[in-house]
Amino acid sequence: MTQTLTITRMGTQGDGVAETPAGPVFAPLTLPGETIRAVLRDGRAEQIEILTSSPDRIAPVSPHYGDCGGCSLQHWAAGPYLDWKREQVRLALGRADIETEIEATVAVPPGTRRRLALHARRGPDGRVALGFKARKSWRLVEVTACPVADPHIVAAFPALARVAEAFLEHHKSAPTLHVTWTLSGLDVDVTGVERKSGGLSRDAQMLAIQAAADGDLARLSMAGDTLVMERQPKVAFGPAIVSLPSGGFLQAVPEAERAMVDRAVEAVRGAKKIADLFCGAGTFTFPLAMVAPVLAADASAAGIAALKTGLGTVKGLKPITAEARDLFRRPLAPYDLRGCDAIVIDPPRAGAINQTAQIAQSKAAVVVGVSCNPVTFARDARVLIDAGFRLERVTPIDQFLWSAHVELVGVFRR
């Protein structure tokens, strides 16, 4: 049944929301204040016709807008869009009964994302297509342009499609190319290859290796196992140059990473010793070591090994001690953190409630929490606040442009 609705607010996933007697209706690609006509199905609006547009609506820049499942908020003017992200942080903190200063959202420019996950499928005509999933669907939308991605990655789309073809050897394979632009060129790790049938054949591996050479890839790997490496992929963390582990974690946008690091370093100035937890390959470790000695820990042995190797590329830093340790199963206790008067923690989306509980019992005077999930950040923040910390301020960071995703940096002091 077709109905006329008025969008009153934005939902947490970036859909417009209309309130009806039957409950909220979620309308993708709409904005507050707009009047729409749509077919309603299970609380969602479909076949949407916009009758009255919001003054905040702008022209989308992607040719794939509306079909591609990414960048679903590029029709929204920058000011209200960034304010909405800030509001999502405020709401998450409010649900944990936390009030603090929330700074303006840090914006990142288009064309700066150095990491993409591209799905590969073979079409009915036999041609390999690369792209992203459609909205609320498993259907692949082939992309020829991506306004958020680094231009080096976009320029490599044809070469990456040729690389992907080798990984479609088995009809059950659904490869995803995790593409990273590094100082050494493109690093590609492929997942989703059928393994029960024996994995990729030797012939297919050779085809992949040849395609990687033709595309001038720095490295090609499959689920973290290197198939060929022409050049070691390298990234800069502060003054250090680090060899990126295959499949290793890296912040998606350098400008967003810089905003996080700058705020963390500023918050810990004057510290005598700093703990860097969930340190990866040293994103924060090396800049922090310009301030004070650092104790770094992460579950990734490859990340810790890369961090240690990176130590040889820079001089003049304070001492760094790095340990491979699962901080979920074996969080650092107050005894392990002795002498650390500042702690930086950057856990995965699930947060780190057990490690946070140990930090709360430590002698640290400053804690910097970096998070890609305001909800779990608020949950963990509540533990620190109940232990006597004050959440001094929070800075939202728009690392994933035109998405509903928001990241943040929070500074706690006793």
Residues taking part in catalysis: 372
For tokens 């998405």, the residue is: 403
- Fill in the amino acid letter for 10: M
Residue 4's CB is within 10 A of a number of other CB atoms, namely 11
Buried b (16+ CB within 10 A) or exposed e, 73-98: bbbbeeebbbebbbbbbbebbeebeb
CA distance 81 to 15: 12
Cα dihedral 206, 140, 12, 34 sign: positive
| Phi, psi (rounded to 5 degrees) for 89 | -65, -45
| Phi, psi (rounded to 5 degrees) for 208 | -65, -40
At CA 60, angle to CA 58 and CA 66, rounded to 5? 120
Give me the numbers of helices (H) and strands (E) for the chain, helices first please.
9, 23
Mark residue 120 as left, alpha or beta (left: phi above 0; alpha: psi -120 to 50; beta: remaining): beta
Cα 101 to Cα 364, 393, 410: the distances in Å are 22, 5, 10
